[in-house]
Amino acid sequence: MNTNLVCIQSRPKYRWSPRQHFVRTDPGPGRYISFTCAPRRGLSLAASRGRRGVKRVSSGGTRDLDSPIVDDSSIQKDRDAWRVFSVNARLILRMFFRKIPFIGKRQIFVGILNILLVFLIRKLLNVVSVGQIELFYLYYQPLVPFLMMLWGWGINVLYFEKTGLRYDMCFEERDRSYLLHSVEILKMCNTLSCGLLSSASLFLMFTASGMLRAAALQPVLLYMVTLLVLVMPFPIFYRDTRRYFATTFWRVLTPVRSVAWGDFLLADILTSLAKGLSDIERAICSMVSGPILSGTPEQCTDASWIIPIGLVMPYFWRFIQCIRVYIDTGNKQQLWNALKYMTAFPVVFLSFAKYHVAHDSWVSLWKPLWLLAACVNSGFSYFWDIERDWEISFFSQIGSHKRLHARTILPQPTNFSRRTYYYLMISNLMLRLSWTYKLSPHLRRDHLIVFCIVLLEAFRRFQWIFIRIEVELRKLQKLQPELGVLVPSRGNARKQHVSITSPKVLPG
């Protein structure tokens, strides 16, 4: 930076001055105070408090900035103006990004590249044919929900760190050292997003330009590199955390041992990503069964038995986990929880029956059964989310006869406001009923609608994690007071009890 700059004294830290200059004080010894005036040769740089806090020290003494600076060279003026603009723009970006912990020069570059790749993919989708768009969704849609769930977990951890929730106490003591900080998770998400978007854009570019061999290679490389990143033994890219994730995933796949809290959390998240798991199964089946760009083979379509198996497996894992917890603890609530996951089985297999029965039989018999099973599953799951996972005693108090002094639904201070809980309850119900889009055939065949529904389910799980971990921490705090305060009270929890009350009971 040019040392012949005019500096302005202002308030501490960053702000916009009344003169619309971006200024900073408390710069430390040997640093500049601000960068608001164009350079002028023959002047040394200093700043001192004076009238309106703006003065300049030159080789001939101190002069107030109100006296005009005249530069006879138009070229020099342009250079000076550009220098002032570039310095101010750099400071504005620094102020904007300094509250985002994972932002650095490399991450800013990767983030800008991701944004450009998204726009490029959007443009290319308008160029390629309908069949090529089908292939794009076939191979690249399955990985997006998992990546979005990882972004969501990074935001969850960032919130827990900022608010002081000791979420790591939910995990086993031996597992806590493997948990990443939010900065590391968000950096990893940024990098993985760049890899996915780069592969997708190359696939569309090669497809649009007729380079079919190069296009067919992109999804294969993407899936192979993704698997390699998860299992490679080298001490790079958070090896210990990757090993812990792989071990936890194996424990979920083989639920024959005691269930740790991390096993339960991962299995519950996988139930929200069941459609993504099924789509990955379909994509790999298409790669293995024939030419990659020939479309979905018959054995990989919705009529194939491998699709419902992929959809139902996450629910089966959770069902076995609940049975195992009941055997270990004798908690009968786990039997009801297991029943909740069993209600997903009829929904999946009745939907699969559509492709193997006559149309008249489907409309008259199987479709009504499917609708009934879907409603039962959604209602039971929503009830369990509110009453058990979040411990919001809403339904259990509907029949309460205490009209004058209804019990509070949340009997302790919470980490969120009352409106937040209302929002979460309503949005959870709406997202639980997102399966109703299947009732409209034209929506069911729309790849963009299906893609958005899958992302909304990942978003619902992202919201669910906030309250579920808060509830688990309160249980630990009650059972083990020596752990200290695990859920610090916030501004929205100043009262001893949250003012969410049960619905009014009308006189009979």
- CA geometry: angle at 429 spanning 477 and 171, to 5°? 30
Comparing 5 with 332, the larger pLDDT belongs to: 332
Q: Which long-range contacts (CB under 8 A, 24 or more apart) does 352-359 make?
A: 352/302, 352/305, 352/307, 352/308, 355/302, 355/303, 356/303
* Whole-angstrom distance, CA of residue 253 vs CA of residue 204: 35
Confidence at residue 91, expressed as pLDDT on a 0 to 100 scale: 66
Contacts of 179 (CB under 8 A, 6+ apart): 157, 168, 171, 241
Summarize pLDDT for 373-426 with one digit per residue, the tens.
Answer: 999 999 999 999 998 899 887 776 665 544 434 345 665 567 788 888 889 999
Distance CA 33, CA 292 (A): 60
Q: Which residues lie closer than 8 Å to 199 by C-beta, 6 or more apart? A: 140, 218, 219, 221, 222
* Region for residue 210 given its phi and psi (left: phi exceeds 0; alpha: psi -120 to 50; beta: otherwise): left
Give the per-residue pLDDT at 457.
93
pLDDT value, residue 310: 87
Residue 181, CA atoms < 13 Å, CB-side half-sphere: 6
Q: What is the mean pLDDT of residues 151-159?
A: 95
pLDDT of 286 above 70: yes
* Contacts for 486 with CB less than 8 Å, ≥ 6 apart: 165, 166, 169, 473, 474, 476, 477
Please give the backbone phi and psi of residue 281, each rounded to the nearest 5 degrees, phi first.
-60, -40
CB atoms closer than 10 angstroms to residue 498: 20
DSSP label of 387:
I
Instruction: Read off the pLDDT of each residue in 447-462 and give the average, rounded to a whole number.
Output: 91
**55, containing H or E segment:** strand 55-58
Give, for 491, the enclosing helix (H) or strand (E): none
Closest CA to 451 of 208, 226, 136, 116: 136
Band of residue 101 on the pLDDT scale cut at 50, 70, 90: low
Helix segments in 330-366, DSSP class H:
333-342, 344-353, 359-361
Q: Whole-model pTM?
A: 0.76
d(C-alpha 217, C-alpha 238), whole Å? 28
The answer to whether 435 touches 274, Cβ cutoff 8 Å, is: no
pLDDT band at 508 (very low <50, low <70, confident <90, very high): very low
Contacts of 108 (CB under 8 A, 6+ apart): 93, 97
Give, for 276, the enclosing helix (H) or strand (E): helix 274-289
Average pLDDT for 315-322: 95
Q: Of all residues in the chain, what percent carry a pLDDT higher than 70?
A: 71
Q: Between these two residues, 441 and 19, which has the higher pLDDT value? A: 441
What pLDDT was estimated at residue 49? 37
